[in-house]
Chains A and B, each alone.
Chain A
């Protein structure tokens, strides 16, 4: 259900082109939890960004849910990201001037598939599931880093995406919070059957995945 065909990414710099991803082929089954591991600069985040429709590949195809996402026009790809893909960044990615409940409801409001009241109800429910029922009206700066990360997961799930992409989601968290966040992601994968791709360089976290893909120098290595 998720396929990458000869996906490549080259960044142009002042010192010349830098190849981040070099012709990767990857198939991920629906509902599977796949961990992508590798050293810093190995190209794993670039690969995830291309799969998530966030960064245009230099070559190759990314097919999600039978749609080659980079053949869509800009508006179509924005809608696809909104509806089919949930993304958890490796940094706090909430809009600081909106309340947690607004942050979570925003993708649903953008999707225009449900009433505003329903979007807010669902946002509140998801935040409740993440243990943040008391912080609906709180601003991101008023909650801890772990709570912010949970809110980001809630936002990623608001439109029931087919794929949840997490790019080192626990990179700046303490060990206890890291485990709590991983438990949330595992629960999403297990209970919702949402395909989960996790980028990490933490082997202990990767070992919880059903499949581990190792990337080095922009290529998948055995």
Chain B
């Protein structure tokens, strides 16, 4: 950019800024209105995402909605969490994938093997080995209370809360060393408390090394078999629908349902968040309309000035650009103010509501700082876009008119 262009832009920028300062009350009201709107949007979205993340953690910790097991398997229906119990019976690993049920949102296959002598260290105590698919799992990993700061790998194991071994240390299981990747939080459910969890591939390799005399059911050794599936319902689906769909599609299975009220709460809260998001969009639209109407009036009021600018040779694009700069500065300032106020409100929440939730053991996951900053920057940018979009049409219309028509309007 040449020094001359720079001087012109600086002059037009100053003109825009000074025009805002000329009508202080109106500019401040506009900035305040945009600040309130963007503040609500920023805080709302940041809190929504935090609640969403907290729900994702909290509800997955509530476990699955239902469980699909071999028909003859014994199940513990009194436990707070649905857990697959050890059994000699198995299902095909691809049974649910083949069924393609609309009422199932996701499912997690698990294999369980209980051995009388674990081979862990010197204890040789009874243990439940649980194999799970890390990509599909939603009932084990959400309970990780602590873990190594890297993704789960083959030959990693996760220990139940009652097992005592430092993270990153090695445990010998049937003579092979495994890395302790993490430990689950306390659930009060036996398998979760004392189990040893690992990826399915690790599980399949492990069971091959168990001595033949330990009474391992041959079916569990097969890689294409699983002990059962933990299932989460699709949004809007009911337990009854899913149960009926599974039983009518898969043969030789039984369906064990969990607490239906939890599923209802999960689905209800998800719908509530969607509703809040819709309200945010409506708020954004009304803010954009308000800014557009206001700037339409501002452009009309300033048609003499715009006419003078045209008369001395200002190009149409420069006229529109001038108005857009002015509008974007006002709404951007409002957006910045809104984000600052929103951040203070979030800080207040953190020291009040979230503090008490944490105290009673309800996890609340805040968005991390980079995301909060990104949301804030995005909100300010959005506010600028609202201003620019709001002023564009009236400015474009004004720029099309003859300078004399604009000047004569008020002269």
Which residues of A are at the interface with B, using a C-beta cutoff of 8 A? 46, 49, 52, 54-56, 74-75, 78-79, 81-83, 87, 89-91, 93, 95-98, 102, 105-107, 109-112, 114-117, 119, 155
Contacts and interface: CB of A to CB of B under 8 A. Distances in A.
B309 to A, nearest CB: 8
List 8 A-B pairs, minimum CB-CB distance, nearest first. A82-B313, A116-B7, A97-B18, A55-B404, A54-B404, A49-B404, A109-B8, A54-B403
B247 interface: no
Interface of A is mostly: helix
18 contacts: A52-B311, A55-B402, A55-B403, A78-B314, A81-B313, A81-B403, A87-B312, A97-B14, A97-B15, A97-B18, A97-B22, A98-B14, A111-B313, A112-B2, A116-B3, A116-B7, A117-B3, A155-B312
A109 B11 contact: yes
Contact of B316 (A74, A82, A117): A74
Contact of B402 (A54, A83, A89): A54
A115 B3 contact: yes
B116 to A, nearest CB: 89
Interface in B286-312: 305, 308-312
Interface in B1-35: 2-8, 11, 14-15, 18-19, 21-22
Contact of A78 (B4, B6, B19, B316): B316
A65 B176 CA distance: 97
Contact of B4 (A83, A95, A107, A114): A114
Highest count of chain B CB atoms <10 Å: which of A79, A82, A106: A106
B405 interface: yes
Given A55-B404, A116-B4, A98 B18 contact: yes
Nearest to B308: A93
A107 B315 contact: no
A107 B313 contact: yes
A91 to B, nearest CB: 5
A86 to B, nearest CB: 9
Contact of A110 (B2, B305, B314, B407): B314
B13 to A, nearest CB: 12
A109 B15 CA distance: 14
Interface of B: 2-8, 11, 14-15, 18-19, 21-22, 305, 308-316, 318, 402-405, 407, 411
A54 B309 CA distance: 11
B15 A55 contact: no
Contact of B19 (A74, A93, A97): A97
B29 to A, nearest CB: 20
Contacts of A117: 3
A93 B14 CA distance: 18
B407 A106 contact: no
Contact of A75 (B3, B308, B311, B316): B316
Nearest to A108: B4
A54 B407 contact: yes
A115 to B, nearest CB: 6
Contacts of B4: 109, 112, 114-116, 119
Given A74-B316, A78-B315, A110 B15 contact: no
A97 B15 CA distance: 6
Contacts of A97: 14-15, 18-19, 21-22
A93 to B, nearest CB: 5
Highest count of chain A CB atoms <10 Å: which of B14, B311, B318: B311
Given A87-B312, A117-B3, 14 more contacts: A49-B404, A55-B404, A78-B313, A78-B314, A78-B316, A79-B315, A89-B407, A93-B308, A98-B18, A102-B14, A106-B312, A107-B313, A109-B4, A116-B6
A109 B7 contact: yes
A190 B222 CA distance: 108
B312 A102 contact: no
